Amino acid sequence: MLYELIYRSTAKPGLTEQDLEDILKTARDFNQANNLTGCLLYHGGQFLQLLEGDFQILLDLYDRIKRDSRHREFLLLHMKETDQRVYTDWTMAFKSLDQNQLGKYSSVTEFTELVTNEKESSMSKELFQAISAALVSG
């Protein structure tokens, strides 16, 4: 069964470009070895990540990510079964967003604003789908 997991976290103070590169290299290597795909977004000192793959591998990875000292204040936004991947060709896509790139989500100043009262964050899923389309077309 294919599952998707979306979480947000806050970057540690002073996160560097090298830290981001290290996170991406580790993620891409692990994801390729474990048939995972996804995307990591970075904006305003926060991460928003979508991961797609096997349920147990995702849970184990999320636990490992929560122990990573490069970020904190984790919030699981979305975990559910899905029929298809959003990021079929990306072991880990990455986008650092500025306010202009958020499009219809431009009122979002922090990823925490993507939390909904529902059991899933449909707004964050829409954002990932929009980013996916932008990565493919441009």
Q: Sign (positive/negative) of CA torsion 23, 44, 129, 66? A: positive
**Structural domain of 18:** 2-137
Residue 23: φ, ψ to 5°: -60, -45
Residue whose pair of structure tokens reads 């793959």 in the numeric block:
53
Residues 124 and 108: their CA atoms lie apart, in Å, by 11
Q: Are strands 37-43 and 2-11 parallel, antiparallel or unpaired?
A: unpaired
Residue whose pair of structure tokens reads 């122990």 in the numeric block:
67
Residue-wise pLDDT tens digits, 17-49: 899 899 999 999 999 999 999 989 888 888 888
Cβ-based neighbours of 119, under 8 Å, separated by 6 or more: 80
Query: Which band of pLDDT confidence, cut at 50, 70 and 90, is reported for residue 125?
Result: low
The domain that holds 86 is classified in CATH as 3.30.70.100
Instruction: Work out how many domains the chain is built from and give that number.
Output: 1
Q: Is the pLDDT of residue 65 over 80?
A: yes
